[in-house]
Amino acid sequence: MTTPMTSTVRRQRIVHVVYSFDVGGLENVIVQLINRLPADQFEHVVLSLTTISDFKNRITQPGVRFIEMHKQPGHAIPLYPRIYKLLRELKPDVVHTCNLAALEITPLAWLARVPLRVHAEHGWDAHDPNGQSKKYQRVRKLYRPFVSHYVAVSKDLFCYLADRVGVPLRRRSLIANGVDTDLFRPADTRRGTLPDCPFSEADHWLIGAVGRMQTVKNQPLLARAFVNLVSQSPQARASMRLVMVGDGPLKSEVESILESHGLRDLAWLAGTRSDVPQLMSRFDCFVLPSQAEGTSCTLQEAMSCGLPVVATAVGGTPELVQHGLNGQLVPPDDEVALAQAIATVFRDKQAALEQGVRARKTVLDRFGLQVMVDQYARLFSGRQAA
């Protein structure tokens, strides 16, 4: 009698390398990939050069390993021996580095004989909001030989890799961030209040923003535009309210702007929240005031919720928003233009509703989450993403 032979397929081990693992767009993409890539084909390690926050709890896939390196400010050279040793011990099939701060790990991955080294560009650094820095272009060129394949999340980043870094077409893919359209959807009903929110949906028109409160996201611009709006219009002052979800170094500046104009009680700075989909679906207008973006996850999520959106025309945002059709685009750092665009949405509720419907259709047609996951699965398996 012969015993049936059983075969087990070894899973691909991916080490995701980030500067820090905290609330943010690129970190959210990693969460989505870990949770949705087939568990029988892939296993994951999250390696943070600095720290890992409770954001890791959004990962539902069991068995994920988290490693913090606690890097001090400056170059990671003192950590190189530890990281090299770690990569030799882990023996990953793929090292997936994200953004410029993690790029310096690719030579170590090459030296540790990691077969596939994928580097993803999710957006610009606050010190180089338009990708014009010659220094950062030289840095990217320096590390180019050690990267097997590049991922850009927007067309401008895809072209940047070609024009400024010299990456050939065969070594780069455009994979837009995806959004969970079942989780981020229009509200089923209108309730009178939001959880913990001091404002009532029945009485107030809510301007919402979601994101880390850091320089490149530029929330103070929205605060100043809000001051502009409510200071000039009694109707706006009576009903407009500002809701900002997120935390970071710019929070005190936003508070100062509001307090100096006596408007602090017209805004709710909600901090970091775990119920963003529920909150977002209750906004009346979503605003993204960024100085730079790749493909904004929060903008996609707001559009998926069927919200009228106002966003600065930077990075990959014009690929998402068609001005006057599914949202409003304004120049970056233009307080007056931002205020005027929000006022347009406020005044014409029917047009805003129609833009919100078209915004959700844009996401459903082009930015489904499974499309993104499938493209990464092909890439991580050693097959170039389509």
Encode pLDDT of 198-227 as tens digits: 998 889 999 999 999 999 999 999 999 999
Tokens of 151: 């991922």
- 82 pLDDT higher than 70: yes
Cα-only R_g, the chain: 22
Q: What is the pLDDT of residue 1?
A: 47
Q: What is the pLDDT of residue 30?
A: 98
How many CB atoms neighbour CB 3 within 10 A?
Answer: 5
Q: Is the Cα torsion angle 95, 291, 277, 345 positive or negative in sign?
A: negative
How many CB atoms neighbour CB 30 within 10 A?
Answer: 24
Instruction: Give the rounded distance of the alpha carbon of 138 from its chain centre.
Output: 25
pLDDT range class, residue 117, cuts 50, 70, 90: very high
Mean pLDDT computed over 10-35: 95
- 124 pLDDT higher than 50: yes
Q: What is the pLDDT of residue 200?
A: 86
Write out pLDDT tens, residues 172-184. 999 999 999 999 9
Write out pLDDT tens, residues 286-302. 999 999 898 899 999 99
Q: What is the pLDDT of residue 193?
A: 61
Question: pTM score, two decimals?
Answer: 0.86
* Kind of pairing between the strands at 285-288 and 172-174: unpaired
Burial per residue of 243-269, b for 16 or more beta-carbon CB atoms within 10 angstroms, e otherwise: bbbbbbebbeebeebbeebebeebbbb
Q: Which residue has the tokens 């970056």?
A: 332
Answer whether 140's CB lies under 8 Å from 100's CB: yes
Task: Report the alpha-carbon distance of residue 248 to residue 216 in Å, rounded.
Answer: 12
Mean pLDDT computed over every residue of the chain: 93
Q: What is the pLDDT of residue 123?
A: 87
pLDDT range class, residue 15, cuts 50, 70, 90: very high
Answer whether 334's CB lies under 8 Å from 310's CB: no
Burial of 39 (0-12, 13-18, 19+ CB in 10 A): middle
Burial of 214 (0-12, 13-18, 19+ CB in 10 A): middle
How many CB atoms neighbour CB 10 within 10 A?
Answer: 8
Burial of 353 (0-12, 13-18, 19+ CB in 10 A): middle
DSSP letter assigned to residue 180: -
- 385 pLDDT higher than 50: no
Of 30, 29, 28, nearest to 47 by C-alpha is 30
pLDDT over 90 percentage in the chain: 86
Task: Report the alpha-carbon distance of residue 79 to residue 294 in Å, rounded.
Answer: 29
Q: Alpha helices, DSSP H only, in the chain?
A: 25-36, 80-90, 100-103, 106-111, 134-143, 155-163, 219-232, 234-239, 251-260, 276-280, 297-304, 317-320, 335-347, 349-366, 369-380
Q: What is the pLDDT of residue 195?
A: 75
Burial of 78 (0-12, 13-18, 19+ CB in 10 A): exposed
> Which residues have CB under 8 Å from 327's CB, separation 6+?
303, 308, 309, 310, 311, 320, 321, 355, 359
Write out pLDDT tens, residues 242-285. 999 999 999 999 999 999 999 999 999 999 998 999 999 999 99
Instruction: Give residue 280's identity as a one-letter amino acid code.
Output: M
Of 276, 227, 223, nearest to 250 by C-alpha is 223
pLDDT range class, residue 75, cuts 50, 70, 90: confident
Q: What is the pLDDT of residue 328?
A: 97
Task: Report the alpha-carbon distance of residue 253 to residue 239 in Å, rounded.
Answer: 24
Q: What is the pLDDT of residue 384?
A: 64
Write out pLDDT tens, residues 131-168. 889 999 999 999 999 999 999 999 999 999 999 999 99
> Which residues have CB under 8 Å from 199's CB, separation 6+?
193, 206, 241, 243, 268
Task: Report the alpha-carbon distance of residue 137 to residue 217 in Å, rounded.
Answer: 22
Domains of the chain by start residue, with CATH: 12-178+368-380 (3.40.50.2000), 205-366 (3.40.50.2000)
